[in-house]
Amino acid sequence: MPGIWRSVDGSEGTLRVFSAGTPASFPMILLCHDLPREPGGAADAGRAYPPFAERLAEECGSRVVAAMLRGTGGSDGDFSANGWLEDLAVVAEEEAGPTGDVWLVGFGLGGALALRSAARDDRVRGVVSVAAPADLAGWVSNIDRLLAVCRRGGVIHSESFPKDPQAWAEELVALAPLDAAAHLGTKPLLVVHGSNDASVPTAAARAIADAAGEGPVDLRVVPAAGHLLMADPRVFATLVGWIERHR
C-alpha cells in the first residue's frame, strides 16, 4: 500500500504527516527527523523520509509514520526543542491513540528527541537513536550562529522568533540525551553511529549506550560511515532486524 500525506492539527498550526503501511497494523513506528541545516533542508526532509518510511513499512509489516515537525517539510511554526517534543506527542496521540504501542526511530537531533520522548511516554515500547548527540551544550555555545543555521535551513521562518533566544537554547540543552537514556527503564534501545561521523563523535553513541536503563541495549558502529545514515543499506538492515527481534 503506497503511503499517504495527511494533516494533523498542532498547537502552532498544521503538521504534515506521511503514513505508510496498513493503517490498522501495529505497532506503529514513528520516525523523528534530524535538524535540517543546509539551505533548503527543511523542504528536503519532506522528500527524503517518505521513501524510507515506505521501505521500512514493507520490510517490517508495520505502519510507519514520518512526522514533519514544526518548521519542516511544509509544517507550520518555527523550530524549538520543546515544540518538536510537543509535535511528536501530538502525532503519536493522533496516529496510535492513548493506548497504542509506538516505536521511535530518530536521526541526529531526532535521536535525542526520541530518547526524551521515550523516557516520558509509556506508549513507547522501544527506541532507536541514529547518529544522535550525547550533549547539546556545544550546540548552543554560539546562539546567534545556531539561529542563523536554522534560518538558512528553513526551520525558523519568523523574524521575531524566538522572543527569548537564551530560553530557546536552554530547551535544546534540556533534552539531555544521557539523562533520557537513563530513564528508559526496561525499554530496549538500539544506538547506531558511523565510525567516520564528522558531525557527532562516535564517543556520543558509546556514552548513550552506557547511560541506558535496565532494558537491552545494542550498540552498532558502522565502519567507514558518516553522519547521514538513512541511505546506508547496512543501517536499514540493522534497524529491520532489531525491530523484528524486539517488538
**Which DSSP string corresponds to 15-77?**
EEEEEES-TT-SSEEEEE-----STTHHHHHHHHHHHHHHHHHHHHTSEEEEEE-TTSTT-SS
| CA pair distance 127, 104, nearest whole angstrom | 5
> Rounded to whole angstroms, how far apart are CA atoms 102 and 170?
28
Angstrom distance (rounded) from CA 226 to CA 195: 7
The DSSP secondary-structure symbol of 198 reads S
pLDDT, residue 169, reads: 98
Q: What is the pLDDT of residues 145-170, one digit of tens each?
A: 999 999 999 999 999 999 999 999 99
Confidence label for 97 from pLDDT (cuts 50, 70 and 90): confident
Tell me the CATH architecture of domain 4-246.
Answer: 3-Layer(aba) Sandwich (3.40)
Which are the contacts of 216, defined by CB distance < 8 A and separation ≥ 6? Answer: 188, 189, 246
Q: Is the pTM of this model over 0.85?
A: yes
At 218, is the secondary structure helix, strand, or coil? Answer: strand
Whole-angstrom Cα distance, residue 26 to residue 187? 17
Render pLDDT for 29-48 as a digit per residue (tens, 0 to 9). Answer: 999 999 998 888 888 888 88
